[in-house]
Amino acid sequence: MTVVYEDNHIIVVNKTASEIVQADKTGDTPLSETVKQYLKEKYQKPGNVFLGVTHRLDRPVSGLVIFAKTGKALTRLNEMFRTSEVKKTYWAVVKNAPQEPEGELVHFLVRNEKQNKSYAYDKEVPNSKKAILHYRLIGHSENYYLLEVDLKTGRHHQIRCQLAKMGCPIKGDLKYGSPRSNPDGSICLHARRVRFIHPVSKELIELEAPLPEGNLWKGFTIEDTEKTY
């Protein structure tokens, strides 16, 4: 766990691909407990440490996760995520080049709880939720392409599902059509940047996560990634 930002009300960490954000049936120690322990030791706090989970990343995904250190911050952040006021930008490594270097994807996703998988449809179908993202081709290597993705909605497995529907499954993502898994069980999807108004101080917060270790992420020729929101 790497702390990217911390103040009295929030803490933002760079999650590794193997970590779960919240406790689940695996029984593995979640990132939320690791952060709590970090705060307990850093500030020598007796008893329980308050930490609010504001959003999640899938276990095989790496990158920025925002936690609330106070109840006030948690309430406000929950509302900000609900109304899409927190802007999240992801980087995804794919094997196939998209037909267009930039575009907006609009699908209707249906979640299958038993399979823990979402299915994308071009038109609205029963029990579907509208999913919108914007992608841009920002880099390439000898064998792969690097896409920058801005989420406009927050649906279950949205990026994984929509990119696969476009014919560009994420490297290592067997569930959505990648031919091979990654050795460490990760998928090559990284929550690279977040941008939001601080829930208490009202300052603009812009943060960027370091890229995962390994030659794959370092092997890209990156085009100009300056962007406006």
Among residues 7, 24, 58, 122, which one is catalytic? 58
The answer to whether residue 227 sits within a structural domain is no
CB under 8 Å to 201, separation ≥6 — which residues? 7, 9
Residue pLDDT, tens place only, 43-83: 999 889 999 999 999 999 999 999 999 999 999 999 999 99
Asked if the structure places residue 229 within a domain, the reply is no
Which residue in the block uniquely carries the two structure tokens 């933002």? 12
| CATH at residue 165 | 3.30.2350.10
Residue 228 within a domain: no
CA 108 to chain centre: 20
The answer to whether position 87 is within a domain reads yes
Give yes or no: 58 in active site.
yes
pLDDT at residue 227, rounded to an integer: 47
Specify whether the CB–CB gap between 100 and 78 falls below 8 A.
Answer: no
Question: Could you give the number of structural domains in the chain?
Answer: 1
Residue 178 structural domain: 2-216
In a domain, 226, yes or no: no
Tens digits of residue pLDDT in 109-150: 999 999 999 999 999 999 999 999 999 999 999 999 999 999
pLDDT single digits (tens) 183-214: 999 999 999 999 999 999 999 999 999 999 88
pLDDT at res. 224: 59
Instruction: Please report whether residue 119 resides in a domain.
Output: yes
